[in-house]
Amino acid sequence: MTMDLDTVREVVRARERADLGGLRAGTAVLAGGTWLYSEPQPGVERLIDITGLGWTPLTIDEAGLEIAATCTLQELAAGRYPPEWDATRLFEQGCGALVASHKIRRTATVGGNICLGLPAGAVLAALTALGGFGLVWGSRADQWIPLSHFVTGVGETLLIPGEVLRAIRIPESNLRSRTAFRKIALTPLGRSGAVVMGRLDPDGGCVITISAATVRPTVLEFRAMPSAGELSAKIAELERDLWYDDPHGAPDWRRHVTGLLAAEVAAELVGDRS
């Protein structure tokens, strides 16, 4: 179901970068629009539709993968990637962790999932887990920002008025990594209470990324595969106010199940996979 935005007085279809100069207070960026049209937006009087900019959804080159902010979740999950890029399986797993119909996945965009900055943003989490960087266009100089720093809180990001997320880039070496994924929810088809993704790099380094359970994607980095004790200690050291609290899970429960899921992820990373 979509909702009429009766406060909107103008819709601008951007054709080139200069058309983004109108981003200001009261203006929202429109791409998939699945969240924008899902609830009232009383402060929005103007929309700038960026789908007309014609960005290529997925670009594969020697440096890795570039994903346009307007790439849909379906395009990301169904993309044809080099067979040695085993880590791309996190794309489908991240999309699957969302409470979203096939219709939503064909419309919702990668950039929207990132810029909403919600704990349940599992596509954001997958791209963060793979060491992604976001290219920000705006009044400041164009800059690549690590996605691990992009979200600062629930619904809060580093973007300032006038800026737009253009693309995400993932280094080629990270796409060759071994990955593991775990999710838990209070109900079989409910919103994720905790999502843990692991990445074991060719050089032996290990990255564990926690989302849904925390107010922002939280990345734990290790020079080598951590022992169960090291992993548990790292999770225990996380600040108490980092754990998210909503009807889909209490903070103490989220913290507990995150530890269990992280242990399973670590075990899969070092074990044999069928």
Of all residues in the chain, what percent carry a pLDDT higher than 70?
A: 97
Give the number of other CB atoms < 10 A from CB of residue 187: 8
Q: Do domains 58-173 and 178-270 have the same CATH topology?
A: no
Tell me the two tokens of residue 100: 């979203």
> Which of 86, 87, 114 lies closest to 98, judged by CA?
114
> Which of 124, 150, 131 lies closest to 201, judged by CA?
131
Model's pTM, two decimal places? Answer: 0.93
Q: Report d(CA 89, CA 268) in Å as an integer.
A: 15
What is 178-270's CATH topology?
Enolase-like; domain 1 (3.30.390)
Give the number of other CB atoms < 10 A from CB of residue 254: 24
Please write the tens of the pLDDT for every residue from 219-249: 999 999 999 999 999 999 999 999 999 999 9
Q: At what angle do helices 122-129 and 89-96 cross, to 10 degrees?
A: 160
What is 58-173's CATH topology?
3.30.465
Please write the tens of the pLDDT for every residue from 111-165: 999 999 999 899 999 999 999 999 999 877 899 999 999 999 999 999 988 899 9
